[in-house]
Amino acid sequence: MNRCLRDLPEMVDELRAIRETIITNILLIGQTPAPTFKEKRRTTVFLDRLADFQVDECTTDGYRNPIGIIHGKNPDLPQIFVSAHLDIFFTKKMVYNYTVAEKTITGPGVMDNSVGVGVLLSLPFIFQRLNLAFESDIVLAGAIQSIGRGNLRGVRHLLKTWKKPIRAAVCIEGGELGRLNYFSDGMIRAEVECHTPREPGLAHKYRPNAILVLNDVINEILTLKLPQRPRSKIVIGTIEGGVNHGAIAYDATLGFEIRSHEDRIVKDLYNDIKDIIEGIRHEHQVDLNLKTISNLNANRLPYNHPLVKCSVDVLHALSIDPVSDPTESALSIFLSRKVPAVTIGVTNGYNYYQEDATMEIEPMFKGIAQIIGIIGAIDSGVCDA
């Protein structure tokens, strides 16, 4: 392990020498549309590229998650998973043209998660160029239906049906470099839909405005008392509705998310909001519905877990300061299956979730080196105890 850590800074220089192939993979993935539930084209590109790199096995599971397997020296050992989600927040109708400058790559979805998938695709080529071989099989998994309404269905199905034991997992996200997640909060993401009567109603003295009804919901939510321990919060994330500036909105939607270190708190707050919505529905005599979009249970590795400690050592060896926050990534699903896992970021960037999202190229090489370092540590047996 110590020797591996000493070699990591030198590895960064070797990775710079193959930057063109890595950037090509980011462009191939990033310029292929993959909104949630419509990832088929990107899945095909993913598998074709793995075949180009002569990966030992290329296949999909029963849920159409694309998978590549690099055989290790010892087939009896549990496998090591390296995963990245394929889907992005944008729709197919957008123009997916990426711009490559000297130091940056710009385009929709590049930070979430085209760079992550592009790096995942590049690992077979990188292993070959650096003459790296492992004892365990390395499973490269692209997870579909992950974000938003996808609710991590792809990785849930993948792990539920995977028959071989898993040694540990590394989840790759675009940013930020230094990100080291080893725990996830309990979370419920939900929407409140408000629909008001379109015809003159006998029960209404005035026609309610759906946006103002949701404003009442927000005001009531803001009165809820949140515990400081365990740390909990409610995030009001989206609100949309109406058709023009001069017409009362008949329909509107509010999106929010509840997070806490404890699942019990999340459920209690959700029930409180449910009661708020039921009360306002009766008061305003409107159609007000609460729908759960996605949810996660709280899971964590302790900080002194060998995988967490060796991941910190890998980042320090590359002069990267780790930043650990809760995450809503596939990490939670691995941990719920008793598989040690961490989520890491590949590079730095800005304008997330916008059409001009931008990633920095140079930090990416340290980001890839950290992935290789953590895989090497897992393969050396740090998680086996």
Separation CA 385–CA 381 (nearest Å)? 8
pLDDT above 60 for 284: yes
pLDDT above 70 for 253: yes
What is the model's pLDDT at position 201? 53
Of the pLDDT bands very low, low, confident and very high (cuts 50, 70, 90), residue 329 is confident
Separation CA 81–CA 137 (nearest Å)? 9
What is the model's pLDDT at position 200? 59
Residues 167-201 pLDDT 10s: 999 999 998 999 999 999 999 999 999 998 876 55
Of the pLDDT bands very low, low, confident and very high (cuts 50, 70, 90), residue 89 is confident
Strand partners of residue 99: 106
186-296 topology per CATH: Alpha-Beta Plaits (3.30.70)
Buried b (16+ CB within 10 A) or exposed e, 192-212: bbbbbeeeeeeeeeeebbbbe
Cα-only R_g, the chain: 23
Strand order of the β-sheet with 166-175 is 57-60, 66-70, 138-143, 79-85, 166-175, 341-347, 180-181
What residues does each domain of the chain span?
2-184+298-380, 186-296
Q: Using DSSP, how many helices (H) and how many strands (E) does the chain show?
A: 10, 17
DSSP state of 92: T
User: Quick check: bond before 219 cis, omega within 30?
Assistant: no
Report the top-level CATH class of 2-184+298-380.
alpha beta
Output phi, psi for 267, to 5 deg: -65, -40
Q: Judging by DSSP bridges, how do beta strands 358-360 and 287-296 pair with one another?
A: unpaired
Separation CA 86–CA 317 (nearest Å)? 30
DSSP state of 199: S
What is the model's pLDDT at position 96? 86
The interaxial angle of helices 115-129 and 19-30, nearest 10 deg, is: 150
Q: In 3D, which of 381, 260, 294 has the Cα closest to residue 4? A: 381
Separation CA 50–CA 9 (nearest Å)? 27
Separation CA 108–CA 33 (nearest Å)? 10
The segment with the largest mean pLDDT, out of 2-6, 42-46, 242-246, is 42-46
Instruction: Look up residue 142 and give its two tokens.
Output: 């692209």
Instruction: Look up residue 241 and give its two tokens.
Output: 């509705």
Of the pLDDT bands very low, low, confident and very high (cuts 50, 70, 90), residue 83 is very high
Q: In this structure, are residues 43 and 158 in contact, taking their beta carbons and an 8 Å threshold?
A: no
Separation CA 101–CA 12 (nearest Å)? 20
